[in-house]
Structure 1
Amino acid sequence: MPLLSIVLPVYRVQAYLRECLDSILEQSFTDFEVIAVDDCSPDHSGAILDEYAARDSRVRVVHLERNVGLGEARNAGLGHTAGEYVWFIDSDDWIAPGALAAVADRLRTAEPDVLVVDYAKVWWDTTTKHSRLSALVASAKFPRTFTLAEHPAAIRIFHVAWNKIYNRDFLLKNDITYPTGLYEDVPVGYPVLMLADRISVLERVCVYYRQRRRGAITSTPGRRHFEVLDQWDALFQRLDAIGERAAPFRHLVFERMLYQCLLVLENPERIARADRKEFFRAVAAAYRRHVPAGYTFPGGREGAGHRIVARNSYAQWRTFRSGLDAAAAAKPRLVEVRNAVRLRTRLNMLYYRSRLRRPMDENLAVYSAYWGKGYVCNPRAVYEKMTELAPGVRGVWEIKPGAEAEVPAGVETVTIGTKAHLRALAQAKYLITNVNYRGWVVKRDGAIHLSTNHGTPAKAMGVDQLKHPSGLGDLDMAALLERSDRWTYSVSPNAYTSEIWERAYPCNYETLETGYPRNDVLATATPDDVAAARERLGLRPGQVAVAYLPTYRDYEFGSDALLNVESFADRLPDGTVLLVRVHHFDRSHVPAGHPGIVDLSDYPRVEDIYLAADMLITDYSSVMFDYAVLDRPIAIYAADWDKYRATRGAYLDVFAEGPGVATDDENELAGLFVSGAVSGPAATSARALFRKRFCYLDDGRASERVVRRVFLDEPVPPAPAGRAVPVMAPEPLPEVHPVADDSPAVALPAQRDRSASAARLGS
């Protein structure tokens, strides 16, 4: 029998679940079991749990057949526990290093019925705030073990489940289970303190309590928050059943009820403005039901609020809150003023605002790619499929001044900054982009904003960048998330990306796990498509092309971070050409006039480069995921891996989990190509695992899936038949040892059999 059973209810937490599980399983203390309860989660949480259970015998997974809610999921987990003590942990939080050892030590020495541990709140921007437990302990002077009767101040301990570890027999003997509905902690958190003969408090932060920016039910307005009153009713019924042992604490519990219910009322993320009066009336009714005899009002602002509730006067409550309401109302005006200056003139802003008052055009869609730079990427693929499947919707592209000529004939455009542009943005029902529309763009009621995104993340993105402040530059994270709040849908190419996007961009959107629309042309490419792309790039028939597509470094780096393309091109076999596409800030790294180098940094369609190239060299760029769809050799050149990982952060270890061979040395890279190891057995095996993990949705129908969901309101179908959703990382691969740099040159695999490679594209 383990000392500790950790019960982990799981529902829609794929973005945070790995961090939670890792924080538990990597502890130095090991005498525990994890009972993970998959509460019929609609995301990949269940698969992640099965992955962990397969590799760690301490994890057991209970898959529920229907969603029962947090309380019942905890009860289900409790029924499978075998430990002497039980700890209910929320699966979007995580455990501090060393916490389990400290908890185990206190459990063994104090033998409590209930052990209370400290916690810290952590917000999306990494702001951390310690709880008030230490101050409470200091003022009340709790001994090592005590009862609530001995120290009534303990009633102010946060009443949630996850800051307490329970003796399992204590729970069973007192028939303690969690109710259904929201605020399920209320009827349990207080009675356990009243019933315990031995309470102990561990003044050590053991839990990091995640304050989710979006997605948590506690920060989603709705009438379900009325359930808090039902839970308080249930609590007072439980106190009646407990009897004399609970009687001395009714006054204190009643005060906590008013404190919490008024907090809920004041929180716009819980009670919508239209429901506030009704909720206030319900709180006043609860006051009358449960007010104990001889109740005296506390002092100060809290007591003034209680008196208004006792009088059941919503008008007085609104007056009481008017000062804070006025302060809150001022904030949108400040945002509006700040946004207004982003347009060329106030006149344009006034025009845009006036068009927002016009009826929304239900059949107008505005498209944008890279802030209006062209007709490319995922938005292009969605647009073209929309014209086929939803021809009644009119698509218009916003284009930067001077770039209109780059858009094909027949595609309607509006030039950014013109009245036609502002009018389209104001009145379109659909706004589609692969980045983000400008901060001043308003999302109208009923409008649909589609973020197609434009890459699979190998490097840290969104709020995860806050862990690497030196790589942030002048990025305004709060403003970025405000823009992302407008998303209705966010396109994801695979399960791996869905997990990351939901954590990196904690906003209220629906994830469309469809594959990337722009990769449809790769999945369905024929030999004729390949030949046409090569012709557009000026390649000769039979000429071997190696693409070099590095990512942009948004931090200070040395010149050796990028490949010396001139030197590398000189070392490639005769007849091989290097196709180079770097960021325009890095243009100095591409020499002009070299016969073996083609500078494609200004070439608009990266898909053509993919199709034309026989092999790829990249580093941390998302191009590795796209190019892998073609199942051609890929080499990773990551000269600044240690610095990049420390400065920008990385989700993927490009050496252990990459799609082929990898090196941080330019000479070794040349050797991999000269020897043919770039397409040898180890590289091929690595690529196969990589494709299974990341490319399983690339069947050529991603655009169709997106269009059907967004424009035709059809559900996204499951993964294509025979394409299981993989969440496990690939097994470590054998290390590749390139031959010495002075080995004799051999023909590259693409030179030996380009026709076979091209034929595979049509399969």
Structure 2
Amino acid sequence: MPALSVIVSGHAPLSRLRTCLDSVTAQTPPDLDIVVTVPATDAPARALAARHELRDPRVTVVPVAPGAPPATARAAAAHAATGTHLQFLDPALDRLPEGAAAALTARLDSGDDAPDVLLTDHHHAHWWDDAAPGGSTELLAQAGTDGTTTLAARPALLDVAPLLGNRLVSARLLAEHPELVGTEGHDELYLSYAVLLLARRITATATAGLVRHKDRPSQRRAAGPEQHFAAFGQYERLHQLAHAASAPPALRARLYDRMVGDYLATLARRDELPPALLTEYFRRAARHTARFRPEGHQRPGGLDGVRHALLGRGAHLGYRLLRIANDKRRTVQAVAGARAEQAAAARTRLRYRRRLRRPVDQDLAVFSAYWGRGVHCNPAAIAAELAELAPDIRQVWIAEPDRVPLLPPGTDHVLPGTPRYWDVLARAKYLVNNVNFPNGVVKRPGTVHLQTHHGTPLKRMGVDQRDHPAAAQGLNLEALLERVDRWDYSLSANSHSTETWQRAYPAGYRSLDYGYPRNDVHYRATAADVRTARARLGIEPGRRALLYAPTHRDHQSRTRWTPRLDLPRLADALGEDTVLLVRGHYFHDRLPGPRHDRVLDVTGYDPVEELALAADALITDYSSIMFDYANLDRPIVLHTDDWETYTATRGVYFDVTAEPPGHVTRTQDELTEILRDGTWCDEAAAKQRHDFRLRFCEYDDGRAAERVVRRVFLGEGEESLPPVLPLERRTPAPTPEEATGR
């Protein structure tokens, strides 16, 4: 029997269903059992599921009757599952993290006796972030040290978010309690707690077994108030189950606290319930708070205890008055908090100054990329090479709190603003970044600051932005130049970049004309790497994958963007054998607008180099990705419908439409036509690309990271570094056609 069956069951928009199925079929265990339920009358969902079943023998599609209740579909899937443990995913909300199935299967196989429930961590996918921590990592890590435990021994496990997908339930437990998955009204909240209450053996792990899409408040409001009121029936049944299972008092008290906490949280989100229903919700919540309160239960202290008491007494007017008073108190606290932050900043500056008096740590390197977003870009490639050539140099990465769970295992890291953050910045010999370190960082004698940049410049940068207000908005050029003065080295991929950086960032650093380390993979990747990249994205053999990667417009919002192409219409025009991979700028959130089953939103997909390997061609406008992708010697099409506006608002260093890496289009119809008639990859495009590569892929040959590490970290002279290989002697990674034998 396979160790794990992943069940995908529930109604979902086609794009969400695709994302969920792709994440499951990308898992590596060969014996993974995948069961998908689809309504017999939902033709698009049925076709999508059938395609996965056709290309992946692990997939079994179970059709269900039109209008079948969720419990019926869930029960049918559970009946078809063959694994010893079942994981239930809601395709409208859930997907699996990369490698989750392998990690969880290994955890299930590591013990002598299989648990009834394996409780895992999870990540949240917000509209602005693809995966933020779920908040239970520390609790699960502590519980994981127990080996196997029980809920009675660790009632705190009830505090793990009640998501059905973050608990793997044994088939044995479900066979003993068939009513769990087959009874209507046993929804996620009930089932999540019920399996823990019924389990005799529980194992916990801090491994993330689930990514849950987190709706915005407006989306939750659109779902209607029924979702909130449904909790009353589920909590009532849970208290009945706890009583029937003779749960100990401590466990029942924890369940009660979870219930009241959920009710108060819903009341606090006052905009999610219409005013007409808010009173009714309070009344029903008050009834449960009073009815299920365990004997001798101690309410929490402080304001939470006051809210708890008011709810238990059904004092709605008192609750509302308290809320008004708290709103006023928070305003006062905000003013006081601002003053406290100023004082804390002063203390931090003092601590940092003291650390600057200590000796420089000759074997410490601090890395950062994109303002603490994690292990990415040129710094990541340099760090990987450094670990090979100079493993004695310790690496510490700067990472924002929400990026920490996404760091590679074992990555030593610091959070911005913390004492250790300032300690390592004060003492590290090497500081590597693809943007700038904060203004307060001091350049110490004997330290080395390496600026790697994160693209070849087409748009104006640095002081060259001063005549373009849209680009320079909020930019303090004097402060920028003070940061630039800390650089010892500036990395470059071509002569154009070297000259541009010297003009845009005038300072005394030394230019390293070594290539961009992040592009090394474009020469080192194998046919297997290309196939793997396409498989992870769910790109079927024989399909053409076009990567559409537009850049940001400075005169538009950083948080919201609208593609300048009608992507569903383009996908329809290009036909079934073409899939569009759409990646927004790192400023942007997910792809807005209507979904299409051959338009894949890969805005949050990392690394971007893997997207490039998977794509047969690139469509972009003015993004620096064109210079990186050109290393692969694959077709590039520029869509420049707003060239005049872009050049006027941002400013550019040269006319890329006159010296393009491929054909240039100004309308969607022109773009569609050249993608349909073969012009996109004709001889004229190849000639343009060759000339473009000669100019802009000048130093990229697959050994850029090695040159950087040997020169900057090991102190080798220029004469001993690997020479840059001429363009005609380089061999890029295989194209998808070559990798798949098409």
Q: Normalising by structure 1, what TM-score?
A: 0.49
Please say if residues 531 and 739 of structure 2, whose CA atoms lie closer than 8 Å, have aligned partners that are also in contact.
no
Please say if residues 473 and 555 of structure 1, whose CA atoms lie closer than 8 Å, have aligned partners that are also in contact.
no
The offset of 1:353, in angstroms, is: 1.6
Q: Give the SS at the match of 1:402.
A: helix
Q: Write the deviation string for residues 608-659 of structure 1: whole angstroms up to 9, x where unpaired.
A: 1111111100111100000011111100011110111122111131211110
Aligned partner of 1:642 in structure 2 is: 644
Aligned partner of 1:493 in structure 2 is: 493
Q: Give the SS at the match of 1:515.
A: coil
Alignment of 1:605-616 (within 5 A): 605-616=607-618
Q: Write the deviation string for residues 464-517 of structure 1: whole angstroms up to 9, x where unpaired.
A: 112323432111111111111100000000111101110010011000000000
Please say if residues 458 and 622 of structure 1, whose CA atoms lie closer than 8 Å, have aligned partners that are also in contact.
yes
1:418 and 2:418 correspond: yes
Aligned AA (1:567): R
The offset of 1:562, in angstroms, is: 2.2
Aligned partner of 1:715 in structure 2 is: 717
Q: Give the SS at the match of 2:401.
A: coil
Q: Give the SS at the match of 1:403.
A: helix
Q: Write the deviation string for residues 40-75 of structure 1: whole angstroms up to 9, x where unpaired.
A: xxxxxxxxxxxxxxxxxxxxxxxxxxxxxxxxxxxx
- Indicate which of 631, 648, 669 corresponds to 1:667: 669
Aligned counterparts of 2:644 and 2:522: Cα–Cα separation in 1: 32
Aligned AA (1:658): P
Q: Count the aligned residue pairs.
A: 397
1:755 and 2:741 correspond: no
Change (3 A) 1:355 1:528: same
Alignment of 1:187-206 (within 5 A): none
The offset of 1:346, in angstroms, is: 2.2
Aligned counterparts of 2:621 and 2:737: Cα–Cα separation in 1: 28
- Indicate which of 565, 568, 571 corresponds to 1:566: 568
The offset of 1:418, in angstroms, is: 1.8
Aligned partner of 2:368 in structure 1 is: 368
Aligned counterparts of 2:617 and 2:344: Cα–Cα separation in 1: 46
Please say if residues 512 and 716 of structure 1, whose CA atoms lie closer than 8 Å, have aligned partners that are also in contact.
no
Aligned counterparts of 2:343 and 2:483: Cα–Cα separation in 1: 16
Aligned partner of 2:386 in structure 1 is: 386
Change (3 A) 1:620 1:759: farther
Please say if residues 590 and 604 of structure 2, whose CA atoms lie closer than 8 Å, have aligned partners that are also in contact.
no
Q: Write the deviation string for residues 513-540 of structure 1: whole angstroms up to 9, x where unpaired.
A: 0000000011111111111212222322
Q: Write the deviation string for residues 243-262 of structure 1: whole angstroms up to 9, x where unpaired.
A: xxxxxxxxxxxxxxxxxxxx
Aligned partner of 1:442 in structure 2 is: 442
Aligned counterparts of 2:341 and 2:480: Cα–Cα separation in 1: 18
Please say if residues 528 and 739 of structure 2, whose CA atoms lie closer than 8 Å, have aligned partners that are also in contact.
no
Aligned counterparts of 1:553 and 1:587: Cα–Cα separation in 2: 14
The offset of 1:417, in angstroms, is: 2.1
Aligned AA (1:389): L
Aligned partner of 1:603 in structure 2 is: 605
Aligned counterparts of 1:597 and 1:433: Cα–Cα separation in 2: 33
Q: Write the deviation string for residues 294-341 of structure 1: whole angstroms up to 9, x where unpaired.
A: xxxxxxxxxxxxxxxxxxxxxxxxxxxxxxxxxxxxxxxxxxxxxx97
Change (3 A) 1:715 1:575: same
Aligned partner of 2:40 in structure 1 is: none
Aligned counterparts of 1:508 and 1:570: Cα–Cα separation in 2: 53
Alignment of 1:168-247 (within 5 A): none
Change (3 A) 1:695 1:583: closer
Aligned partner of 2:518 in structure 1 is: 518
- Coordinate RMSD, CA, aligned: 2.8
Aligned AA (1:479): A
Q: Give the SS at the match of 2:655.
A: coil
Unaligned ranges ≥5, structure 2: 1-339, 729-734
Please say if residues 395 and 412 of structure 1, whose CA atoms lie closer than 8 Å, have aligned partners that are also in contact.
yes
Aligned AA (2:598): G
Alignment of 1:428-507 (within 5 A): 428-507=428-507
The offset of 1:668, in angstroms, is: 0.3
Aligned counterparts of 1:689 and 1:463: Cα–Cα separation in 2: 29
Aligned counterparts of 1:724 and 1:607: Cα–Cα separation in 2: 20
Please say if residues 455 and 623 of structure 1, whose CA atoms lie closer than 8 Å, have aligned partners that are also in contact.
yes
The offset of 1:389, in angstroms, is: 1.1
Aligned AA (1:601): T
Aligned counterparts of 2:725 and 2:462: Cα–Cα separation in 1: 33
Aligned AA (2:643): W
Change (3 A) 1:424 1:502: same
Aligned AA (1:682): A
Aligned counterparts of 2:521 and 2:356: Cα–Cα separation in 1: 37
Aligned AA (2:737): S
- Indicate which of 624, 639, 654 corresponds to 1:622: 624
Please say if residues 449 and 487 of structure 2, whose CA atoms lie closer than 8 Å, have aligned partners that are also in contact.
yes
Please say if residues 580 and 590 of structure 1, whose CA atoms lie closer than 8 Å, have aligned partners that are also in contact.
no
Please say if residues 439 and 483 of structure 1, whose CA atoms lie closer than 8 Å, have aligned partners that are also in contact.
yes
Alignment of 1:278-317 (within 5 A): none
1:399 and 2:394 correspond: no
The offset of 1:695, in angstroms, is: 1.1
The offset of 1:402, in angstroms, is: 2.2
- Indicate which of 640, 656, 659 corresponds to 1:657: 659
The offset of 1:584, in angstroms, is: 6.1
Aligned AA (1:677): T
Change (3 A) 1:625 1:513: same
Q: Write the deviation string for residues 7-55 of structure 1: whole angstroms up to 9, x where unpaired.
A: xxxxxxxxxxxxxxxxxxxxxxxxxxxxxxxxxxxxxxxxxxxxxxxxx
Please say if residues 471 and 554 of structure 1, whose CA atoms lie closer than 8 Å, have aligned partners that are also in contact.
yes
Unaligned ranges ≥5, structure 1: 1-339, 726-752
Aligned counterparts of 2:669 and 2:391: Cα–Cα separation in 1: 54
Aligned AA (2:642): D
Q: Give the SS at the match of 1:449.
A: strand
1:544 and 2:563 correspond: no
Aligned partner of 1:590 in structure 2 is: 592
Q: Write the deviation string for residues 561-584 of structure 1: whole angstroms up to 9, x where unpaired.
A: 722222222221213111111136
Aligned counterparts of 2:724 and 2:362: Cα–Cα separation in 1: 34
Q: Give the SS at the match of 2:378.
A: helix
